Structure 1
Amino acid sequence: MAYGKWIGGFLGFINTHSVLGAIAGFVLGSIFDVFTDRNRGERYSGMSPEDIQNSQQDGARNGFLFSLMVLSAHIIQADGKIMHSEMELVRTFLRNSFGENAVAQGNEILHKLFDYRKQKGEYVWKQQIRSSCQEMAMSMPEEHRVQLIAFLAQIAKVDGRVDAAELEAIREIAQNLNLNPDIVDSMFALGGSSLEDAYKVLGISSSATDDEVRSAYRMMVMQNHPDKVANLGEDIREAATKKLQEINNAKEIIYKARHM
């Protein structure tokens, strides 16, 4: 399978001795051996500035996608069950982003991640997820990490019931990504129509001052602005655009209630 067409490039942008590198090596197999420290050091040799920029953007996207698959596998199994609806959500994302061929590839990657978790055991796996998140926190801008949390929230919600173990796992991921854990409540409140939901979307309480409301709204716009994730691809940009619309709706509900 042509992993390199949509995700294998990630391996050229990581430290081979990192936790994510170890996971990638297990999941992607021999492709991992192609990328050495020397290859990474020479990858830009003879390339034009435009080609270098495009390569860096591809690397950012591939890194985001592999991280997304690892964290998705973690949340799908968080409640001890692998739900068809959760797997299908990931497949739909891959299908819309890369076409039908990517669905089979992504499905195989998820199952290899499940096997990796079983092989390592729960304690080691969770330690590796924690370390992987810390790597992501150092290498990804905040806006990209916010989009990871948003997708994980979709996985947890897709079967119509959010298990306490799923919620706890996403909170822990957010914390290890150096994000405010309150952002998890915000993601789960998106799309709600009540005033209570609106406050959760902005990550504030109903006792917040008008200035705090405005400040929280500006922060949410910065974190979720589509232009900040444009290099991750049109699919991610569209998801951010939808979230921004829901953030704007939450702001309007609060402003109307407060006569602002």
Structure 2
Amino acid sequence: MIKWLAAILGYIYFRFPGAILGFIIGSLLDNYIRSSGGMFNSLFGEQKQKKVSPGDFELNLLSLCSIVIKADGNVSQTELDYVRSYFVQAYGKERANATFRTFNEVVKDRQVSASNIARYLAARTRYATRLQIIHFLFGIAQADGRVSDAEAEVIKDIAGYLQIGHRDFESIKAMFFKKTDSAYTILEIDKSVSDDEVKKAFRKMAKKYHPDKLGHMDEAYRKGAEEKFRKVQEAYDQIKKERGI
């Protein structure tokens, strides 16, 4: 494409010799672009996101689950049951069993790297999906009644590898740690902001966590999105009540 355009431009300005020179230079540019297409496309914002197969996603997600479950040194049956229930709900019993079987045969006894897994998923999943992963991991940690400091720290590390923003992480974390300012943290604002800023923050967060963001995912993930959406609504209602808005 470029070689012919260069040849035409060369002919316009320098006639036949210019056309030949333009064709040669354009051919060189065409070859360069083909050989370094990834870099060229990324410079112009055209690089497509790599994709992860459903099987790889499930196996890597299960690996992250195992890391969180082991984080406090106590492998809780309640947490294991939570994960299995979630996978069955999301993928069906047969597919979930196949994922657990593969994990037990291939991954379970190996050293699992949270950074490698999370970075792999970060390059291949949407941001909304990664937010839901963090929400799911906190749900696992809380399944036995409380999220330990060790579990929270591991999830924070995973969030960093998944390229989750600090405020987004703290917002999801606040849904599981009840403090006096949790409602404000969920909406990603300070207690000192005006009423108008509270309303603006709610609209922004409601849009971010709207279940439609995960319309491409399985039912369990959409339900997780609905739960985050509900927590945002509850936080907003609490602040409105406190302020008399």
Do the two structures share a fold, i.e. TM-score over 0.5?
yes
Contact 1:91 1:106 in 2 (8 A): no
Query: For residues 91 and 243 of structure 1, what CA distance do their matches in structure 2 show?
Result: 21
Structure 1 segments (4+ residues) deviating >6 Å: 191-194
How far does the alpha carbon of each residue in 1:194-234 deviate from its partner, in whole angstroms, 9 at most, with x for none? 76331232233322333443343233223321111111122
- Equivalent residue number for residue 229 of structure 1: 214
- Equivalent residue number for residue 15 of structure 1: none
Aligned-pair Cα RMSD in Å? 2.7
Aligned letter for 2:162?
L
Aligned letter for 2:63?
V
Deviation of residue 166 (structure 1)? 0.7
Corresponding residue to 1:197 among 175, 182, 185: 182
Closer/same/farther in 2, CA of residues 192 and 164 from structure 1, 3 Å limit: closer
Closer/same/farther in 2, CA of residues 65 and 217 from structure 1, 3 Å limit: farther
Closer/same/farther in 2, CA of residues 234 and 105 from structure 1, 3 Å limit: same
- Equivalent residue number for residue 116 of structure 1: 110
Query: For residues 252 and 207 of structure 1, what CA distance do their matches in structure 2 show?
Result: 17
Closer/same/farther in 2, CA of residues 158 and 93 from structure 1, 3 Å limit: same
- Equivalent residue number for residue 85 of structure 1: 78
Aligned letter for 1:70?
S
Contact 1:78 1:165 in 2 (8 A): yes
- Equivalent residue number for residue 126 of structure 2: 141
Deviation of residue 140 (structure 1)? 1.5
Query: For residues 222 and 98 of structure 1, what CA distance do their matches in structure 2 show?
Result: 26
Deviation of residue 63 (structure 1)? 5.0
Aligned letter for 1:81?
N
Closer/same/farther in 2, CA of residues 164 and 196 from structure 1, 3 Å limit: same
Corresponding residue to 1:183 among 152, 165, 168: 168
Query: For residues 52 and 196 of structure 2, what CA distance do their matches in structure 1 show?
Result: 39
Instruction: Provide the identity percentage.
Output: 29
Query: For residues 197 and 87 of structure 2, what CA distance do their matches in structure 1 show?
Result: 38
Task: Report which structure shows greater RCO (CA 8 Å, sep ≥6).
Answer: 1
1:63-102 equivalences in 2 (<5 Å): 63-102=56-95
Closer/same/farther in 2, CA of residues 82 and 193 from structure 1, 3 Å limit: closer
Query: For residues 176 and 200 of structure 1, what CA distance do their matches in structure 2 show?
Result: 22
- In structure 2, the residue corresponding to 1:147 is in which secondary structure? helix
Q: Which has the larger radius of gyration?
A: 2
Q: Which runs of 5+ in 2 are unaligned?
A: 1-50
- Equivalent residue number for residue 153 of structure 1: 138
TM-score, normalised via structure 1 length: 0.65
